[in-house]
Homo-oligomer: A and B are copies of this chain.
Amino acid sequence: MRVRLEDVARAAGVSPKTVSRVLNDEANVTARTREKVRAAIEAMGYRPHPSARSLASNRSFLVATLYDNPSSNYLTEILGGVLEACDQHRYSMLVRPLDVNAADFVARVDAFISHHRPEGLVLTPPITDHAALLARLHERGVRYASVSPIERAGRIGAFMDEPLAARQMVEHLLALGHRRIAHVVGHPAHGASRWRLDGYRAALHAAGMSCDPALVVQGDFSFGSGVTAARALFSLPRDRGPTAVFAANDDMAAGVIWTAGEHGLAVPRDVSVCGFDDTPIAHQIWPALTTVHQPSHDMGRIAALQLLEVLRGRGEGAMVQVPFALRVRESTAPAA
């Protein structure tokens, strides 16, 4: 049988409850006692039993990350960040893929929570803005943090100034002399789509330019939608078509580059293309993609830390802004 808290207590010459206090960083333990207990724990290689802790304290020490996101790179980054935060506070992390469009979406999350009883959730787009789910979570009193939610008021988590990033991306194209700049919009359900479109418009507007509706094409963040959008753009009459395309994410940008080849256009000589997110595909295509680097790992980590702050009763949590960075690579060049 492995070493229990009681064994440590005996070895340290204190009561089990005192060992428990040391373990949980509770107040009202003298430094001397604390040290004595720490030494005993160390010497005996003691590890608290998570289930016993959980049962006695009525806490699960579990955080669950909910997602319905086709981008596994983004996801892996976020999960890694959340995991890092959980490890730091000795919480475990559960993951839960979901179909946000399923009729029983809320019921499924409900069942998941009832079964696993996580203390809190980390929500990722587009789950961050599912009104019915949020209502249900409030109803059940389940705490959560959000990564890049559309509505930030009264929420905790992490976000980036996406409109500004998109605007700077477009300003980069403007500085290269491009005047007919197209935008491939992302999936309507994601707040990011709106922000990036707003940033695109803001940049054009600030440059005193109007926004040609023919150059704004709807996509859905997938490679295929980038292809479809680009086919429409590259079929425009030469003098009305784009000299640069700003796609709302890297996958669509890759689709645009793919389609440029299909239409005999060289990137960046004939057309500049840029994306958003800096996923691995950005430097796995040719030419390497100019894009916006989004610190996904950090966003996951920071969102989880806000949640943990609340769960551990250490504070209120906050909606933390994280910095972005433009990554200028080979897919953008001066306008011909």
Contact = CB atoms under 8 A, between A and B. Distances in A.
A76 B255 CA distance: 22
B51 A223 contact: no
B94 A116 contact: no
A116 B92 contact: yes
Interface in A243-279: 251, 254-255, 257-258, 261-262
A46 to B, nearest CB: 10
Interface string A281-315: 10111100000000000000000000000000000
A55 B47 contact: no
A83 interface: yes
A283 B80 contact: no
A6 to B, nearest CB: 15
A83 B98 CA distance: 12
Contact of A258 (B45, B95, B284): B284
A299 to B, nearest CB: 16
Given A55-B52, A73-B72, A80-B97, A254 B285 contact: yes
B286 A261 contact: yes
A280 interface: yes
Given A72-B73, A258-B286, A284-B254, A93 B92 contact: no
A83 B60 contact: no
Nearest to A46: B114
A31 B274 CA distance: 65
A97 B261 CA distance: 38
A75 interface: yes
A69 to B, nearest CB: 10
A54 B73 CA distance: 34
B223 A284 contact: yes
A208 to B, nearest CB: 36
A116 B73 CA distance: 26
A50, A76, A255: most-surrounded residue (chain B CB, <10 A)? A76
Given A51-B51, A114-B47, A262 B281 contact: no
A267 B49 CA distance: 58
9 contacts: A47-B115, A50-B51, A51-B55, A52-B55, A72-B73, A72-B280, A93-B94, A95-B95, A262-B286
Nearest first, the 3 closest Cβ-Cβ pairs linking A and B are A72-B76, A51-B54, A258-B286
